[in-house]
Structure 1
Amino acid sequence: MELNIIINQDCLKGMKTLKDNIVDLIIADPPYNLSKGGEWKWDNSVKLAGMGGNWNKVMESWDNMSLSEYFAFTITWLTEAQRILKPTGSMWIFGTYHNIGIINVVCQLLNIEIINEVIWYKRNAFPNLAGRRLTASHETILWCNKGGKKREYYFDYEYSKNGNFDYDSLKQPGKQMRTVWDISNNKEKRELEYGKHPTQKPLRILKRMIQLSSREGDIMLTPFSGAGSECLAAKELGRNYVGYEVDPHYVDIAHKRLEHAMLNNQMNIFDSINKGEE
């Protein structure tokens, strides 16, 4: 298996080519199936008075399935993910109320163990535009393992208690990490420099998952790599990565982000060498 690569391919095809028990970590941000329902995202093109900003609709062909299609899709990709994940590995899955129930049920049908259900609280959540329901201010994250008689998954308990989490107002220093995370969805400038994805996740939450459940040198796979945030987070933490993405536009963004990070790393090494020679 070639490492440190993002492949412009449907993950359903790509994962089928991989051997059993070959990856240490999977971070999956599957389609939420929102396009059909006319959900909204932040944009600078359409002004909606009284709605707190400029918004337009997310309409993506890969995010528009019937209920039966989405259920079958979820069974297919999770079956492959379970097969390629090592017994010592973990899988993190993002979702919202639109799709996380289906994912939870499929995990149980496949005997994938759900270790924890994490609530990612987003204090800067987008408002409900119609004014007919509460503002959706969280996403759900399922932390899972392969399943089986033994619980062999890796967990860095020391990091979970004593890591640097000053960006999370709910994490108390020296205390066990809880299942509600207060992590801003705002991205740093460098995360959006080459473009963005409608459901792009901030690096800080991805790095938390990676450090909790993998070691340096491990292999992280992301079936829906989008703009490459999972791969970039893995790279910056010394993990290997493999990503699949069907849209060439997002593959291009991801490649540019990773190339930029590589150049910065080389420059930092060069600067360190020069300082050492002074």
Structure 2
Amino acid sequence: MLISTLFLTPVRRWINYSEPKSEENSIKVISYNARIVGWETINPTSDFIDEQNADVILMQECGDRKIVKPKSSKYAIIDDYKIMTIYTKHPIIEHGLILENRMAGNAHYADIDISGKRIRFINVYLEPYKLHEDLQETPENIDNTEKKAKTIVGKMLPIFKKHQEQVEKIAAFIKKSPYPVILAGDFNAVPNSYEYYKLSEGLQDAFLESGKGSGTSFHDYIFPLRIDYIFASKEFESNSFKVKRNLGLTSDHYPVFAEFSFKN
């Protein structure tokens, strides 16, 4: 029983069976890595944004406004930070960078007024590993397997170091926030990782609170991974969490949806 208890939460970070709660006037939040940097034509993501009617959409690897441009004018757009964008239907009080403005690895925030309450939304895209081809090629013999393993480890170690630096800055920023926080994005790290534990300190994982089924959101490896998250301060009640896999989008990530309401 003790062993089962110890392993229960780590397993639930991948597969969970919480029942979603029905709540009117929920705050609908979407996080989505669109992976469309370099696109030259309008992407299906534009229609996706319009159709969702979300309160806040936090996007990573989303090109620029010329590519992802909603047809409706209901969204205010923050796209000052290169590959990251926030769309919202509500008044933006202020926004700014958390990490230095890089093409790979970034984080920014926006304070948004929703129903008279100031909420700090933090959009995160941690440095990518770029191991897609390395992991999917099958070595021909043991020597090649060892060589490949060393190559992968050699690529990963510098990223681990960058993640640690990025995570420490983001975590310190969250801790200092005078407002309730909703943190979302592509962590490029699985549950039970340093990145997950450090960034979730003092916050609740919406998938753990109200998700049902598999939380995996990245499908470009041999096996799917959960690397896209939405966390929220304890002031919020997590009403639902979903990974939507049937929207016909072109990314190697699936968008993740969560709904929150303020606790009474």
TM-score interval, normalised by the smaller of the two chains: 0.3 to 0.5
TM-score normalised to the size of structure 1?
A: 0.36
More strand by share: 2
**What TM-score does the superposition give when structure 2 sets the normalisation length?**
0.37
